[in-house]
Structure 1
Amino acid sequence: MLCGGTSAARPATDETQQIADKVKPQIEEKEGKTFDVFNAVEFKTQVVAGTNYFIKVHVGNDEYVHLRVFQSLPHENKPLSLHSYQSSKTKHDQLTFF
């Protein structure tokens, strides 16, 4: 991984799902709907002054969303934040920097 670049995509872990679950209310508010299905599928990370997580999430049927979640450095003691997201994605859309 290049310094500042994103990692290769890898299958989601329990930790990735926990991160997605913590920002789920934020994306539901922004989208104005509730997701009955919200399963993290894969993710990439980017080390900055903290960590950006790019997470592909299955939200039901053939629909996916891509999340960009920022986790600050531990000593800053700040909550996870949904930095941005992309909706209307498909299973085959690559997880890219956004």
Structure 2
Amino acid sequence: MGGWAVVEVDQSHHQVLAVVHHGINQHLGSHHQTFKIIEVRHQVVAGTNYQFIVETEDHKRIQVKVFEPLPHTNQPAHVTAAVYL
């Protein structure tokens, strides 16, 4: 377990974002179609916390926090916070 670390964006981050796409829009009350990842930070806890900075199709930037439980829990990743920057 540790602090937040900036990591290089890879395919697993795109997969996590795809899982929580609907949750981001729910948190924001929006209907964004696409999210381009600008930056990712992660923190290992009893699972993984992610902090994404994403850009929408209309060039708005959003900070999205996601929790991904450990695999053995069989629980999906979910949005814990989403705010426009």
TM range (shorter): 0.7 to 0.9
Match of 1:69 in 2: 66
Deviation at 1:24, TM superposition (A): 1.0
Please give the residue correspondences for 1:18-97 in structure 2 after superposition, counting only pairs within 5 Å: 18-87=15-84, 89=85
- Per the alignment, residue 95 of structure 1 pairs with none
CA contact (8 A) 1:42 1:56 kept: yes
Aligned pair partner of 1:16 in 13, 16, 25: 13
Identify unmatched segments of 5+ residues in structure 1. Answer: 90-98
CA distance in 2: counterparts of 1:70 and 1:46, whole angstroms: 10
Aligned-residue identity in percent: 28
In 2, Cα distance between equivalents of 1:20 and 1:84: 13
- For residue 23 of structure 1, report the CA deviation from its aligned partner: 0.7
Shift of 1:36: 2.7
Q: CA deviation at 1:11?
A: 3.7
Post-superposition shift, 1:6?
Answer: 0.5
TM-score norm. by structure 1 comes to 0.76
Select the residue among 2, 5, 11 that pairs with 1:4: 2
- Work out whether residues 11 and 41 of structure 1, in 8 Å CA contact, stay in contact via their aligned partners in 2: no
Alignment RMSD: 1.5
Q: Which runs of no fewer than 5 residues in structure 2 stay unpaired?
A: none
Residue correspondences, number: 85
Specify the code of the residue in structure 1 equivalent to 2:72.
H
Task: Give the number of the structure whose residues are more often strand, by fraction.
Answer: 2
